[in-house]
Structure 1
Amino acid sequence: MNYTKTFFSRQFLWEIVRIITVGLASLFFYLDFIQLLILIATMAFGLYSLVKVAVLDIIKERKIGTELFITIAVIISVLGKEYLAGAVVLMIILIAEYIASASTEKARSSIKELIGSVPKTAIVKKNNAELIIEITDLKIGDIVLVKAGEKIPVDGKVISGSGSVNQAPITGESVPQEKTVGSEAFAGTILELGALDIEMTKAGVDTVFSRIISLVEDAESQQAPIEKFTDKVASWLIPVVFIFVGTVYFFTRDVKLVIALLIFTSPAELGLATPLVTIAAIARAAREGILIKGGLFLEELAKVTTIVFDKTGTLTIGSPIVNKVEIIDPNYNEQNLVQFAATVDRRSSHPLAKAILSYADKLKLTYGEPENFEVIKGRGVSAKVQGKSILLGNKLFMEENKTPLFNSSENVTDTVIYLSIESKLAGIFYISDAIREGAKEMIQGLRKSGIKNIVMLTGDNPETAKYVSNQIGITDYRANLLPEDKINIIKELQKDGSKVAMVGDGINDAPALVQANIGIAMGAMGTETAMEAADIVLMQDKLEKIAKARAISKRAYRTIRENIFVGVGVVHVIGITLVLLKIIGPIEAAAIHLLPDTLVFINSIKLLRIKIDA
């Protein structure tokens, strides 16, 4: 949606009519073409929308806004027989209000423009026929057909076909992703090439796409601390302003002076300085595949001084592989050890378990069902396999179960997983996870942005932690951590007043994300748990998005401060001074007032289109 469409859309028709009507009436009255009663009637028509907002603000919001100030100024102009001045002031203020409303709508509509809309119908295969069915009538398991150029209407899994899908509406990444059998597909994304048969898992409000829309829309209601502060300042100023203006009138009896002062003492810019920036910044972040859940988190991210990263799945790709199996007990060979480990791990969802299962599949081994399976958080798993007691986990797990360990100096940079059979160490699995592309550059970018302290947390051994941290440029790392240790470390970092952001997968790290001032979940597309746990959600596993989110938040915070300076410094200080010196009157005051209003709107909206370097 471009600016012309926004500013001249049907929803603003009455605002445009009011501006033109009041403007023409002012001109005709000045030229003696119409009588006073017609001008006053026209002013009442123009004033209606302002009075309505003023009354609703007082009744529902318990606040006094700029609309009340302008209403009082216009009424005073009529009572003081400054009819033309009141009419011109009203016209100019209506223009300012119109620009404010249209600019805010532009920011909001950019979200809708970005994510578009999901099709309301889908082509479904049923009984060897292709039927067009309403999305609301679809059932889980229905097979949906999507052709090249069409939007995918549901979330699901590809069961037939292949194609290139543009996932920009969800991830912000316009490079098409190849989809084949087994790939996940998401509603709202666009099939650019090929054809897909998708087995539906979610539709309508349950899709990832709908969750994104809901989160972004809800974000508008989350006020930033600076917005709460400006609202509070505005509420303090109002009684002071009325006392000040009343005192000036008592001593001067100058109606024009009072009207001009009311124009410059209204809290318009304070009220607009933050909300418009917040909406624009959240929309801009959504365009980049970053979901910020409100102005509070936008501002907090800008103020963060410490960032804590979980290692696995965040700084590393989260797809570990088995590099080596070391045989300790000669009664077993590699295949035996892998079978035992895979049988125990088939019930585990841990990434390291998946590595062992993948290795077993690679060796074409079969493995059965474990008995008495148990997960010991932060340590490992235990089970009975073929009547034997099996423990599979880290060093701490073995020590707690009094399993003698074998000290190996090999592969010290790998994650080491011990396999115990009947309380005796049988083998060691050496597992590695590749470092994510761009990790080092991301760390450098965060330091340049003002982050003073970067910490890596891991449950891995110190050697692995040291290797990864050295590769990406982190000097502060903590190893051999249990989940509760990560929470305690964040608490310690917060004790000295540091604002701490925690970056994790949003699932295993949920408690730590909640403890941090800002929780950032990476690669959350399709993961509702991550979307709920974090304050900021990155829809892709791309580390540069963290630096981009930080850059957007800092730019937004700077823009808010610029807006406040323009609103308070230019309008209130300079304007009031010029009025008291009687250099300008009501009409000039209204005209001058329009300029900073417009500057505030332009300064805020530019967040949608300017280049923001991470």
Structure 2
Amino acid sequence: MKFAIKHEIKGRIRIHLAQKHMTYRQADILQCYLEKEANISKASVYVRTQDVAVVYTGSRDGLIRLLSRFSYETAQVSESALENSGRELNETYKEKLINSVVMRTLNKMFLPYPVRVAITTVKSVKYIYHGVRTLMKGKLEVPVLDAAAIGVSMLRGDFNTAGSTMFLLGIGEILEEWTHKKSVNDLARSMSINAEKVWFVNEDGQEVLISASSVKAGDLIRVHMGNVIPFDGDVAAGEAMVNQTSLTGESAPVRKAEGSFAYAGTVLEEGELTVKVKEAAGSSRYEKIVNMIEDSEKLKSSVESNAEHLADRLVPYTLAGTGITYLLTRNMTKTLAVLMVDFSCALKLAMPVSVLSAIREASTHSITVKGGKYMEAMADATTIVFDKTGTLTKAKPVVSDVVSFSEELSSDELLRIAACMEEHFPHSMARAVVNAAKEKHLVHEEMHSKVEYIVAHGISTTIEGKKAVIGSWHFVMEDEKCVIPEGMEDRFEHLPLECSHLYLAIEGKLAAVICVEDPLREEAADAVRELKEAGITKVVMMTGDSERTAAAIAKRVGVDEYYSEVLPEDKASFVEKEKELGHKVIMIGDGINDSLALSSASVGIAISDGAAIAREIADVTISADNLHEIVTLKRLSTALMKRIHNNYRTIIGINGGLIALGVTGIIMPTTSALLHNMSTLTISLRSMRNLLPKEEKA
């Protein structure tokens, strides 16, 4: 790629590309190409000017070489990222806004008055038609008010006022449409699939972990419990219950077996499936999600819906006020002053813009919120429930020791067996075992038969004809009736108390205890304290760990209540009981165990490094590895509700004042309409500003 350097300082460079025209797709390819590089912290591509600004670390020469060898044709970027880019949508609506303002200005400056009157008359037909049509349906809603204001102005010969009203209504329509489409697209992107690795089934029937980008149509892939199905395809083998909520809206899991069709992006809750891939690109899941969202009310918070309904409910009162003013004053000028002031524009525009802005601001903190109603629930929430592992503790626990209870197998061999069993399941403890084996260069090829995962308990399989289980004390020693080898009781009694323990048993005998350190997050105690300051009255920790481990963590973090050795249904049951008491409940988790509670909570928050099913079911996903972002979301949600209520008061105050000034004859209807529309735009623009001060973003 050829380019010229326009400006540079240490760590930042701006270049101009040597090409006449840049398409939106080319801009997205270049941006994706740059952002995936580890030494580039930020890249901005400007389509109109063909400029690129890059913030980088490391070698300048290395960056220049990277840019020089770039080619649109050969760049390896995610096709889904290109398909789901919002660049073209935003640019299209920006152009619409600019064109509307430019055309309005040019018309007023250069067109003769009779021509402007003709244009205004033609444009008014649409608004008057919609108003009459609404009235004929027996409804007194906003289109009736718009049609009355425009129609009366034109009958009086006040074409300037009619033109200004239609211009600002048009701007409002563009902003409202942009707001809706951007919200839908942002939400759809947040629900899109980000599978990087999949289990490919080779000709011998063995599973091999490969890159998702290398999968082709016709390939067989195996999906284990708790994972997202990454591609559309026919079920070739297996039986499972699949959660299709995000795609079809069905609340209950759907049974899938051989001959069924599996949809990309749905989550396998129970069982295991082998899927024959239909399309490597994941079919048209993105479009399906968009259609689903547009047909639902998921995006709207109750304050948004209330604003829309209030706008329509105010129409009869505005029309009644117009009639009363005329009867009392017999003055058409004063009567028009009431008609020209419409509460609905500001109410319908400012509220969704406020919510969209808050969701956008949340995304700058690596927080994905799947709809405005979750921001509202977050603001009202008083109880928060934390799962311990991966949330209050770090998402990457580590294996500190492998205590062997086997005379035949070494600690490394036992770790290799454990990693082979655990690698199929997306949980932080499982990843700790797999990572420990990887660090020791222990190759854990498939040496077992079918793996069965028992939620909140452990894993069972057969290795070389011998039954092997790994999991909690309750599962291995109580449910499976495994025993400690004779003469090893003293070793068992002296296991390190500060660690969590994974028990591995082969043929009914304890073979190893894997000691896993689950270090507490440095910010955990501060985050809990700040949540209480932000309005949370009850902080609860729930964990499947022992009483001893739970008590130690609870004391250090400062939670109000804690529960140990809980099952998934216990977490969900606790959430439901709190809701029955009238509390809005936030649930934070990262594993398969938490999915039930996440779906039950008023707001379910998933840590993005956790299980796919948790991310899919959750209402909010936090990508940042920092609990302070939960505090940020709480403050942001509270600030959003405060802004919305302030907007209500401001809109009613300004429009009420304009009506009073018009009725008393202090201002003319044209001035009243202009001030009303200017205030609507001002409130909407103010609603786009960030809610949190800069110091809270540091």
Per-residue CA deviations over 1:359-409 (Å, capped at 9, x if unaligned) read 456385878734575333222233444555444322322223445676736
State which of 418, 431, 450 in structure 1 corresponds to 2:535: 450
Residues 380, 392 of structure 1: 8 Å contact kept: yes
Residue 140 of structure 1 and its aligned partner are, at CA, apart by 3.5
What amino acid is the match of 1:253?
A: R
**How far is 1:610 from its partner?**
6.4
Note if 1:583 corresponds to 2:666: yes
Give the corresponding residue for 1:71.
Answer: 147
Query: Which amino acid counterpart does residue 603 of structure 1 have in structure 2?
Result: R
Write the distance in 2 (CA, Å) between the matches of 1:262 and 1:507: 57
Q: CA deviation at 1:228?
A: 1.0
AA aligned to 2:145 is: F
Residues 56/354 of structure 1: CA separation in 2 closer, same or farther (3 Å cut): farther
Distance 1:75 1:215, change over 3 A: closer
Whether the 8 Å CA contact 1:455–1:475 is kept in 2: the answer is: yes
Give the alignment partner of residue 277 of structure 1, picking from 354, 363, 366.
354
AA aligned to 1:578 is L
Of 602-611 and 238-247, the range deviating more from structure 2: 602-611
The answer to whether 1:377 aligns with 2:377 is no
Q: Does 1:553 align with 2:625?
A: no
Contact 1:290 1:545 in 2 (8 A): yes
Deviation at 1:331, TM superposition (A): 8.1
CA apart distance, 1:553: 2.5
Which residue is equivalent to 1:227?
304
Question: Are positions 1:568 and 2:647 aligned together?
Answer: no
- Higher relative contact order (Cα pairs below 8 Å, separated by 6+ residues): 1
Q: What's the counterpart of residue 190 of structure 1?
A: none
Instruction: Give the deviation of 1:225 after TM superposition.
Output: 0.4
Aligned to 1:599: 682
Letter in 1 for 2:367: I
Letter paired with 1:75:
G
Q: Determine the structure 2 residue equivalent to 1:192.
A: none
Asked if residue 259 in structure 1 is aligned to residue 336 in structure 2, the reply is yes
In 2, are the aligned partners of 1:513 and 1:519 still within 8 Å (CA)?
yes
- Give runs of aligned pairs for residues 140-151 of structure 1, distance below 5 A: 140=215
Q: How far did 1:606 drift? A: 1.4
2:157 maps to which of 65, 80, 83: 83
Matching of residues 39-78 of structure 1 within 5 Å: 40-48=117-125, 50-51=127-128, 64-65=141-142, 68-78=144-154
- Pair 1:60–1:419, CA change in 2 (3 A): farther
Other structure's SS at 1:233 match: helix
Distance apart, 1:488 and its partner CA: 1.0
AA in 1 matched with 2:150: V
| Residues 1:216 and 1:492: Cα distance change in structure 2 (over 3 Å) | same
Residue 125 of structure 1: aligned partner: none
Matching residue of 2:373: 296
Q: CA deviation at 1:224?
A: 1.2
Give me the whole-angstrom Cα distance separating, in 1, the residues matched to 2:569 and 2:641: 33
Q: Structure 1 residue aligned with 2:605, among 520, 529, 532?
A: 520
5+ long unaligned stretches in structure 2: 1-45, 49-90, 190-212, 218-229, 231-277
Give, in whole Å, the separation in 1 of the partners of 2:671 and 2:423.
Answer: 77
Structure 2 CA distance for aligned equivalents of residues 60 and 468 of structure 1:
63
Please name the residue that 1:400 is paired with.
Answer: 479
What is the distance in 2 between the residues matched to 1:213 and 1:372?
37
Amino acid at match of 2:617: A
Report the TM-score when normalising by structure 1. Answer: 0.70
Equivalent residues, number: 520
Q: Shift in Å at residue 213 of structure 1?
A: 9.8
Q: Deviations over 1:121-166 (max 9, x none)?
A: xxxxxxxxxxxxxxxxx97379xxxxxxxxxxxx9xxxxxxxxxxx
Identity %: 27
Distance, in Å, in 1 between the alignment partners of 2:97 and 2:129 is 17
* Residues 503 and 521, structure 1, Cα contact 8 Å, conserved in 2: yes
CA contact (8 A) 1:19 1:94 kept: no
SS in 2 for 1:324: strand
Post-superposition offset of 1:442 = 2.9
Unpaired stretches in structure 1, ≥5 consecutive residues: 116-137, 143-154, 156-200
CA distance in 1, matches of 2:548, 2:135: 63
Which aligned pairs between 1:99-178 and structure 2 lie closer than 5 A? 100=172, 140=215
* Structure 1 position 416 matched with structure 2 position 492: no
Does 1:249 pair with 2:326? yes
State the match for 1:431 in structure 2: 516
Matches within 5 A, 1:469-508: 469-505=554-590, 507-508=592-593
CA contact (8 A) 1:283 1:608 kept: no
The structure-2 alpha-carbon separation of the partners of 1:140 and 1:372, relative to structure 1 and needing over 3 Å to count, comes to closer
Hey, what does 1:13 align to over in structure 2? 99
548-557 vs 559-568, greater mean Cα deviation: 548-557
Cα distance in structure 2, aligned partners of 1:255 and 1:24: 31
In 1, distance between residues paired with 2:106 and 2:297?
Answer: 32
Q: How far does the alpha carbon of each residue in 1:84-117 deviate from its partner, in whole angstroms, 9 at most, with x for none?
A: 4xx343244345335545656886899999x9xx
Contact 1:382 1:390 in 2 (8 A): yes
Report the CA distance shift for 1:105/1:236 in structure 2 as closer, same or farther (over 3 A): closer
- Rounded to whole Å, the distance in 1 between the matches of 2:359 and 2:643 is 14
What is the DSSP-based 3-state SS (H/G/I as helix, E as strand, rest coil) of the residue aligned with 2:689?
helix
**Does structure 1 retain, via aligned residues, the 8 Å contact 2:366–2:622?**
yes
- Which stretch shows the higher mean deviation, 226-235 or 472-481? 472-481
C-alpha contact 1:140 1:202 (8 A) present in aligned 2:
no
**Offset of residue 517 of structure 1:** 0.9
The one of 623, 627, 649 equivalent to 1:543 is: 627
Return the offset for 1:480: 0.7
Note if contact 1:263-1:590 (Cα within 8 Å) is conserved in structure 2. yes
The offset of 1:516, in angstroms, is 0.8
CA distance in 2 between counterparts of 1:204 and 1:388 reads 40
1:268 to 2:345 alignment: yes
* TM-score relative to the length of structure 2: 0.63
Q: Summarize the Cα distance change of 1:346–1:287 in structure 2 as closer, same or farther, 3 Å threshold.
A: closer
Query: Which moves more between the two structures, 561-570 or 9-18?
Result: 9-18
Taking the aligned partners of 1:580 and 1:208, their CA distance within structure 2 comes to 55
